[in-house]
């Protein structure tokens, strides 16, 4: 998950021409780490946006969103004269006072990768809302424009956004920081016959004119701004849940995600009411770069979890859990990401346990712990901490399994120390106390001290808690998930390796996806051709329709140069764009001398179908350069 370059911001020289004596916001001159949010150039300590009204038209020919945004705001410091917004690759046409239509002076600074260009606007005397006429560019990092051929039905184009972490600024000029929340309304015009959906109230009706209105009455941070447009069918699957998907995915998704309503109930029982009205799922085309994205009221979901047996629906539990951890209580800066993802991974496990039983939850925990340990072994100490804010990071690894799984195991440790009932009550109160707020790791620690550590100083020694949050590695107090089901598999593998058991004698009939994944990961890394072939014959891995099992098998096939699987490898990489599933395969090919050319060839063909973020992730892996291909 090397997505975000963490870098210092230098002076934005293009702003020098502003009149002297005007208050130039701090944000412009400060260096990144001294800023309240290193990833935003907005002066949100002076003035905060409170409401957006968007009016956008989707131009599929030019791959541009065109229109305007009206921004309401509140001055926190009355003397504030300027508002600085984050933008990236936006074309700004005009800035005016929304009430009088009078032009306002503005300045777009030169680009400071990866932050983009600060847009500085002189605020009107009367603090009237400001209106910005603008358009996005085809290269917007937060949007993917798909041609009809890249969709399931092949007839209509498709557009979707992915704003987290700092990509909302590539399609809306705003304060792009999770520290600021605002409500929004939108009117979106799309080609007739297509449907627009957003992270807001969505209507089941298709509008014949292609004009859609949205309202998001709860205040959200910018990374939860989301839009998708396409030939989307709709199906309500339970009282509070509906699915939007291209027609061929609709029924399979309705089956796969049938447990969603139970998941909502389970989470409400634990942590209090779901605060967002309905909960819908949008199934995206396979190029969606993530597994899921917790856009409020409408989680965005990869079709690669539609396995046919609900075995990968913990992803839904995860995105749903964000309705509490993340969307309700939000990390104030991206270096506090574990407050979103660690809490969410913990809640995901609690939901999975309630809905699918303890066995499945523990198997997933064991797989995640193995993954985390492997990943940590290659990470510098600074990146093994939950809170990465206190250290000067110059690396790109803000996002890793650390925030997710170390965070999750930390919460599980606290739960086991104080007991479930007590810990559930604590978290429930935490969500109530910080609802619709953004917090930092140290705010969380203070709250934890006041509300839990003070009651259980022996069971939760402050030193150990600090070691979890600020220390590298995994504290040895960690509870290691153990399951008989995986022990049995380990035994079978060693019996087979020592010749005591044939592959066809291993009883696999009732294995779940998690057991297959453990089996594949427990095999020796180096296997000869005969053995690879025997495994493939016995278990048909090369043709597995389960995207996770196929991924692990293809990785093994690359490592062992198992040619019969290459055909599937090529199809796989050309049909899926989820970074977690494709990046490791390219990395493995580039590490294998005689497969580097194959990797480059596959990529050159597959790249145009990938999302801009996936391209950014794979380009350096295969040393891709536009001119070289
Ligand atoms: N919010 C994340 C996705 C994300 C994280 C996007 C950081 C951009 C920056 C989402 O909730 C997530 O964690 N998705 C995971 C789900 C998995 C851990 C169950 C994914 O996409 O694989
Ligand atoms: Zn998440």
Instruction: Point out the catalytic residue in the list 212, 404, 586, 610.
Output: 404
Q: Say whether 532 counts as a known binding-site residue.
A: no
Residue 393 has pLDDT above 80, yes or no: no
Q: Is 195 annotated as a binding residue?
A: no
Residue 9 has pLDDT above 80, yes or no: no
Residues 402 and 382: their CA atoms lie apart, in Å, by: 11
The pTM of this model reads 0.94
Prior bond to 114 cis, omega within 30?
A: yes
> Is position 404 annotated as part of the catalytic site?
yes
Ligand 1 centroid distance, CA of 615 (Å): 17
Q: What share of the chain is helix, strand, coil (3-state, %, to 5)?
A: 40, 20, 40
Question: Choosing from 64, 319, 383, 467, which is the catalytic residue?
Answer: 319
CA 492, CA 505: separation in Å to the nearest integer? 9
**Shared fold status for 232-323 and 327-482:** no
Q: Assign 34 a pLDDT band (cuts: 50, 70, 90).
A: low
Q: For domain 523-622, say whether CATH 1.25.40.320 is its number.
A: yes
The atom of ligand 1 lying closest to the CA of 3 is 9
List pLDDT tens digits, range 426-465: 999 999 999 999 999 999 999 999 999 999 999 999 999 9
Which ligand approaches the C-alpha of residue 405 most closely?
A: 1
On whether the CB atoms of residues 188 and 261 are closer than 8 A, the answer is no
The 10 Å Cβ neighbour count of residue 112 is 18
pLDDT of residue 177: 98
What is the domain partition of the chain in residue ranges? 22-139+163-223, 232-323, 327-482, 523-622
Residue 400: pLDDT band (50, 70, 90) is confident
Distance CA 446, CA 76 (A): 25
The predicted pLDDT at position 398 comes to 52
Task: Output the residue whose Cα is nearest ligand 1's atom 10.
Answer: 293
Average pLDDT over every residue of 317-325 = 98
pLDDT computed for residue 539 by the predictor: 98
What pLDDT sits at residue 10?
A: 22
Please give all residues whose beta carbon lies within 6 A of any atom in ligand 1, as ranges. 3, 164-165, 290-294, 315, 318-319, 322, 341, 399, 404, 580
- Ligand nearest the Cα of residue 289 is 1
Question: What is the tens place of the pLDDT at every residue in 63-97?
Answer: 999 999 999 999 999 999 999 999 999 999 999 99
Identify the CATH number of the domain defined by range 232-323.
3.30.2010.30
- Choose among 96, 104, 103, 223: nearest CA to 170: 223
Banded model confidence at residue 609, pLDDT cuts 50, 70, 90? very high
Q: How many CB atoms lie within 10 A of CB 510?
A: 7
518 annotated binding-site participant: no
pLDDT at 337 over 70: yes
Flag whether pLDDT at 23 surpasses 50. Answer: no
User: How many Cα neighbours within 13 Å face the side chain of 403?
Assistant: 21
284-314 confidence digits (pLDDT tens)? 999 999 999 999 999 999 999 999 999 999 9
Q: Is 579 annotated as a binding residue?
A: yes
Residue 629 has pLDDT above 90, yes or no: no
Instruction: Tell the burial category of 592 from Cβ atoms under 10 Å away from its Cβ (0-12, 13-18, 19+).
Output: middle
Query: Nearest-CA neighbor of 185 among 219, 228, 209?
Result: 219
- DSSP E strands, 389-480: 437-439
Which CATH number does the domain 22-139+163-223 belong to among 2.60.40.1730, 2.40.70.10, 3.40.50.720, 2.60.40.420?
Answer: 2.60.40.1730
Q: How far is CA 291 from CA 241, 262, 287, 369, 533, in A?
A: 19, 21, 10, 19, 30
- Residue nearest (by alpha carbon) to ligand 1 atom 6: 164
Please write the tens of the pLDDT for every residue from 476-515: 999 999 999 999 999 999 999 999 999 999 999 999 999 9
pLDDT at 35: 80
| Residue 280 DSSP SS3 | strand
Is 543 one of the annotated active-site residues of the chain? Answer: no
Plot region of 512 (φ>0 → left; ψ -120 to 50 → alpha; else → beta)? beta
- pLDDT tens profile 145-187: 999 999 988 999 999 999 999 999 999 999 999 999 999 999 9
Q: What angle do CA 544, 545, 548 make, to 5 degrees?
A: 80
Q: Would you say 203 and 297 are in contact if contact means Cβ atoms under 8 Å apart? A: no
3-class state of residue 446 by DSSP: helix
Main-chain dihedrals φ then ψ at residue 514, nearest 5 degrees: -65, -35
Q: What is the mean predicted confidence (pLDDT) over 306-332? A: 98
Measured distance CA(358)–CA(364) in Å, rounded: 10
Sheet harboring 195-198: ordered strands across? 143-146, 158-161, 227-230, 195-198
Per DSSP, the three-state class of 521 is: helix
Q: What is the pLDDT of residue 389?
A: 84
Nearest alpha-carbon partner for 341 in 178, 524, 126, 132 = 178
Distance in Å from the first CA to the final CA of the chain:
26
The CATH T-level fold of domain 327-482 is Neutral Protease; domain 2 (1.10.390)
Cα 363 to averaged position of ligand 1 atoms, centre (Å)? 20
Task: Please give the Cα distance from 584 to 362 (Å, whole number).
Answer: 25
Q: How far are the Cα atoms of 370, 495, 535, 557 from residue 530, in angstroms, in the given order?
A: 28, 18, 9, 12
Residue-wise DSSP of 337-383: THHHHHHHHHHHHHHHHHHH-HHHHHHHHHHHHHHHHHHHHTS-GGG
Mean pLDDT of the chain: 93
């Amino acid at each position: 998950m090397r997505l975000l370059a963490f870098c210092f911001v230098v002076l934005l020289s293009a702003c020098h021409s502003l009149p002297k004596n005007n208050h130039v916001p701090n944000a412009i001159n400060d260096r990144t780490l001294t800023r309240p949010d290193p990833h935003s150039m907005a002066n949100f300590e002076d003035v905060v946006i409170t409401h957006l009204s968007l009016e956008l038209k989707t131009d599929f020919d030019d791959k541009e969103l065109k229109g305007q945004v009206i921004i309401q705001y509140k001055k926190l410091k009355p003397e504030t004269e300027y508002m600085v917004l984050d933008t990236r690759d936006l074309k700004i046409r005009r800035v005016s006072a929304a009430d009088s239509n009078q032009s306002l002076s503005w300045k777009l600074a030169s680009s400071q990768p990866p932050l983009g260009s600060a847009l500085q606007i002189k605020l009107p005397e009367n603090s009237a809302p400001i209106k910005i006429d603008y358009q996005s560019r085809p290269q917007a990092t937060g949007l993917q424009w798909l041609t009809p051929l890249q969709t399931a039905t092949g007839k209509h184009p498709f557009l979707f956004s992915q704003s987290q972490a700092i990509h909302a600024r590539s399609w809306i000029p705003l304060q792009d920081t999770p520290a600021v929340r605002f409500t929004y309304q939108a009117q979106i015009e799309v080609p007739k016959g297509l449907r627009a959906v957003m992270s807001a109230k969505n209507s089941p009706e298709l509008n014949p004119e292609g004009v859609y209105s949205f309202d998001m009455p709860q205040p959200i941070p910018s990374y939860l701004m989301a839009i998708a447009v396409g030939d989307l069918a709709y199906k309500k699957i339970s009282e509070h849940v509906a699915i939007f998907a291209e027609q061929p995915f609709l029924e399979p998704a309705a089956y796969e995600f049938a447990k969603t309503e139970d998941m909502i109930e389970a989470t409400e029982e634990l942590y209090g009411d779901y605060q967002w009205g309905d909960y819908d799922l949008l199934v995206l085309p396979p190029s969606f770069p993530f597994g899921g994205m917790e856009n409020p009221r409408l989680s965005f979901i990869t079709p690669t979890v539609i396995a046919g047996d609900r075995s990968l629906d913990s992803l839904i539990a995860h995105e749903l859990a964000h309705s509490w951890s993340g969307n309700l209580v939000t990390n104030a800066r991206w270096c506090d990401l574990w407050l979103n993802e660690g809490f969410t991974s913990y809640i995901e496990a609690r939901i999975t346990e309630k809905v699918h039983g303890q066995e499945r939850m523990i198997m997933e925990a064991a797989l995640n712990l193995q993954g985390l340990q492997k990943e940590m072994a290659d990470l510098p100490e600074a990146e093994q901490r939950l809170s990465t804010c206190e250290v000067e990071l110059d690396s790109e690894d803000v996002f890793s399994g650390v925030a997710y799984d170390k965070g999750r195991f930390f919460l599980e440790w606290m739960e086991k120390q104080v007991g479930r009932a007590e810990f559930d009550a604590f978290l429930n109160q935490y969500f109530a106390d910080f609802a619709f707020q953004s917090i930092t790791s140290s705010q969380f620690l203070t709250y934890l001290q006041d509300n839990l550590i003070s009651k259980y100083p022996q069971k939760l020694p402050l030193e150990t808690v600090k070691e979890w949050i600020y220390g590298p590695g995994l504290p040895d107090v960690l509870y290691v998930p153990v399951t008989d089901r995986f022990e049995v598999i380990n035994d079978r593998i060693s019996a087979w390796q020592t010749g005591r058991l044939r592959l066809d004698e291993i009883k696999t009939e009732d294995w779940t996806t998690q057991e297959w994944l453990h089996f594949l990961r427990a095999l020796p890394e180096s296997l000869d051709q005969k053995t690879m072939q025997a495994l493939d014959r016995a278990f048909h891995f090369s043709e597995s329709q389960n995207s996770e099992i196929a991924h692990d098998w293809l990785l093994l096939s690359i490592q062992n140069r198992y040619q019969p699987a290459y055909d599937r490898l090529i199809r796989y990489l050309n049909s899926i764009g989820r970074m977690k599933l494709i990046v490791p395969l390219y990395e493995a090919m580039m590490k294998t001398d005689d497969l580097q050319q194959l990797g480059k060839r596959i990529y050159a063909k597959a790249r145009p179908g990938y999302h801009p973020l996936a391209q950014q992730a794979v380009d350096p892996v295969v040393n891709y350069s536009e001119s070289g291909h």
